[in-house]
């Protein structure tokens, strides 16, 4: 779910007008807990000091920011902090300088499960054992439903240097944003700009961003395709060729060529267009792609530009196919019921009339699994708590492919150790063993009613080498 939707849902949950619904349900006044993650490119202690002083300037006695113990892995630079729900983050200097990002813990958990194995639960059968990745080895990561890009932003912050992150989007918002964000180099900065554009304060930010120093540039290659995630990587008569709309290396080149000029003039735009066409052509001819057969072992070590180095792939003429990915995130379109419904009704969503949506979710997870290399990891997530959109979709995939296996994850071990009842109620096991459900929980123990993170489901799936 996008940040805007998250914010809207939460505002709705807070708003007095939403206290009653057409079905005459009473909505409790609840203050949602909010979270930030630190930008690992900045000094941790400095960022925390600034954030703390930001919070204290409006909440002098605040105990925040408070570290989230169950989503913490210092060796992976993974750290989230709770901040007061009513704190105005987007006016804070820690946020404006890009030191912290507002992000729900549940979204953070999906990315953490995708990239790291520290949250994997021991599996005594050994069936799900998988080799821990070498932390420094570049990864090929696909974010299949990337818009608006919140998780992408975290992925590109935390993957090893020289990784390639490919994202697809179907959201016209991106089309609107693309001319502007093409001129920006690092993902962080670009995404900031997208968010800012939505808030209609782009000019000044754009200027500020274009003056940022090279040390803030992302050491990761990002490619953005305007494509349907259900057919991405295939191009048949019924599916259109995906359009490469952004490539960070190409944008970097363009930025260097342009020098100090901030805006792209006509010749810069056509240069950029030519570059992207050439990259698309390489991909389509196979000189840009190898190992397209996802039944192979992943082949060449993943790296930035690996698509350029590897051998042509076998493919039907006119088809578009990609080398398989080490990691695939399928953060699927869903009914986004998880937070509102729990808060409003204390119940789960009526998912009886969702055939079309469930069908889309199945096609997305299927497509993600097809694009995954053997031995690779896929995370399927939604911000719905409906069984049909979660466990049933995952179960459908497990039945379809005999090399699809759940890697059990657990985020509650730290909480168990700390006996935090609130967190234990929030983090639950899903209907399939090893999957996770985050069930919004309202804690009134401190006087105010404070809600945990949002509702969310995630499953971590591995594609085994030895399957059919
Ligand atoms: C839950 S949101 C993803 C949020 C995103 N991962 C993030 O963290 O910012 C689901 C997104 O999937 C997009 N979507 C829907 N159908 C799609 C499709 N067939 N292919 C790709 N994206 C799709 C929607 O536009 C929506 O932006």
pLDDT of residue 310: 34
10 Å Cβ neighbour count for 466?
A: 7
Does the beta carbon of 150 lie inside 6 Å of ligand 1? Answer: yes
Q: If you measure from the C-alpha of residue 385 to the centroid of ligand 1, how many angstroms do you get, rounded to a whole number?
A: 17
Low-confidence ranges of the chain (pLDDT < 70): 1-32, 123-135, 171-218, 237-239, 251-266, 268-269, 272, 281-320, 338-353, 413-424, 442-451, 466-468
The C-alpha atoms of residue 49 and residue 94 are separated, in whole angstroms, by 9
393 and 369 Cβ atoms separated by less than 8 Å: no
pLDDT of residue 169: 78
Q: Where are the alpha helices (DSSP H) in 201-265?
A: 202-210, 248-258
pLDDT of residue 244: 80
Cis? peptide before 78, omega within 30° of 0: no
Pocket test for ligand 1, best of 112, 166, 170 (most atoms within 8 A of CB): 170
Does the beta carbon of 154 lie inside 6 Å of ligand 1? Answer: no
Does the beta carbon of 229 lie inside 6 Å of ligand 1? Answer: yes
| ipTM attached to this prediction | 0.99
pLDDT of residue 25: 46
pLDDT of residue 4: 39
pLDDT of residue 444: 64
Write down the pTM of the prediction.
0.80
pLDDT per residue as tens digits for the range 224-274: 888 889 999 887 766 677 878 777 777 666 666 655 555 556 676 677 677
Q: If you measure from the C-alpha of residue 179 to the centroid of ligand 1, how many angstroms do you get, rounded to a whole number?
A: 20
Does the beta carbon of 123 lie inside 6 Å of ligand 1? Answer: no
The C-alpha atoms of residue 152 and residue 2 are separated, in whole angstroms, by 12
The C-alpha atoms of residue 127 and residue 456 are separated, in whole angstroms, by 26
Does the beta carbon of 345 lie inside 6 Å of ligand 1? Answer: no
pLDDT per residue as tens digits for the range 308-349: 333 333 344 455 678 899 999 999 999 877 555 555 555 555
133-410+446-463: which CATH architecture? 3-Layer(aba) Sandwich (3.40)
CA geometry: angle at 254 spanning 253 and 255, to 5°? Answer: 90
Ligand 1 nearest atom to the CA of residue 333, by list position: 10
pLDDT of residue 262: 52
Q: Verify whether residue 88 is a known catalytic residue.
A: no
**According to the annotation, is 135 in a ligand binding site?**
no
CA–CA distance from 241 to each of 197, 226, 234, 248 (Å)?
Answer: 28, 9, 8, 20
pLDDT of residue 172: 52
Tokens standing for residue 456 = 């969310």
Q: If you measure from the C-alpha of residue 267 to the centroid of ligand 1, how many angstroms do you get, rounded to a whole number?
A: 33
Q: If you measure from the C-alpha of residue 364 to the centroid of ligand 1, how many angstroms do you get, rounded to a whole number?
A: 10
pLDDT of residue 147: 77
The C-alpha atoms of residue 420 and residue 415 are separated, in whole angstroms, by 5
Ligand 1 nearest atom to the CA of residue 232, by list position: 20
pLDDT of residue 41: 78
Helix (H, G, I), strand (E, B) or coil at 456: strand
pLDDT of residue 170: 75
Q: How far is CA 46 from the centre of its chain?
A: 26
The C-alpha atoms of residue 298 and residue 286 are separated, in whole angstroms, by 16
Cis? peptide before 148, omega within 30° of 0: yes
């Amino acid at each position: 779910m996008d940040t805007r939707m998250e914010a809207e849902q939460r505002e709705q949950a807070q708003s007095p007008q939403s206290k009653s619904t057409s079905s005459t349900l009473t909505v409790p006044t609840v203050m949602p807990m909010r979270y930030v993650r630190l930008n690992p490119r900045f000094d941790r202690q400095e960022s925390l000091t600034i954030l703390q002083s930001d919070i204290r300037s409006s909440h002098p006695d605040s105990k925040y920011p408070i570290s989230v113990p169950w989503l913490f892995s210092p060796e992976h630079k993974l750290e989230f902090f709770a901040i007061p729900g009513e704190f105005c983050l987007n006016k804070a200097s820690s946020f404006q300088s890009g030191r912290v990002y507002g992000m729900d813990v549940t979204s953070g958990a999906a990315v953490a499960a995708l990239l790291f194995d520290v949250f994997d639960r021991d599996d005594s059968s050994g069936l799900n054992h998988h080799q821990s990745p070498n932390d420094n080895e570049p990864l090929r990561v696909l974010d299949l439903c990337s818009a608006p890009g919140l998780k992408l932003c975290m992925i590109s912050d935390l993957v090893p240097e020289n990784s390639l992150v490919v994202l697809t989007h179907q959201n016209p918002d991106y089309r609107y944003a693309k001319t502007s964000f093409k001129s920006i180099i690092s993902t962080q900065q670009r995404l900031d700009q997208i968010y800012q554009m939505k808030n209609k304060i782009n000019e000044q930010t754009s200027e500020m961003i274009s003056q940022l120093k090279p040390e803030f540039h992302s050491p990761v290659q990002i490619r953005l395709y305007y494509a349907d995630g259900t057919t991405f990587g295939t191009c048949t008569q019924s599916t259109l060729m995906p359009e490469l709309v952004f490539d960070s290396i190409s944008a970097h080149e363009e930025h260097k060529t342009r020098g100090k000029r901030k805006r792209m003039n006509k010749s810069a735009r056509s240069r950029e267009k030519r570059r992207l066409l050439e990259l698309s052509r390489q991909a389509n001819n196979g000189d840009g792609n190898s190992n397209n057969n996802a039944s192979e072992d992943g082949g060449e070590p993943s790296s930035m530009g690996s698509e350029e180095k590897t051998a042509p792939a076998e493919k039907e003429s006119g088809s578009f196919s990609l080398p398989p990915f080490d990691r695939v995130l399928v953060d699927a379109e869903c009914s986004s019921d998880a937070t509102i419904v729990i808060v409003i009704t204390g119940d789960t969503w009526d998912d009886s009339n969702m055939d079309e949506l469930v069908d889309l979710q199945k096609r997305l997870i299927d497509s993600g699994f097809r694009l995954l290399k053997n031995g690779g990891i896929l995370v399927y997530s939604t911000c719905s708590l409906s069984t049909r959109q979660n466990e049933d979709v995952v179960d459908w995939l497990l039945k379809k492919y005999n090399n699809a296996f759940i890697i059990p994850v657990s985020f509650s071990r730290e909480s168990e150790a700390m006996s935090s009842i609130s967190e234990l109620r929030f983090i639950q096991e899903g209907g399939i063993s090893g999957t996770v459900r985050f069930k919004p929980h309202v804690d009134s123990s401190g006087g105010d009613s404070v809600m945990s993170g949002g509702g969310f489901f995630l499953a971590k799936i591995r594609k085994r080498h030895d399957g059919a």
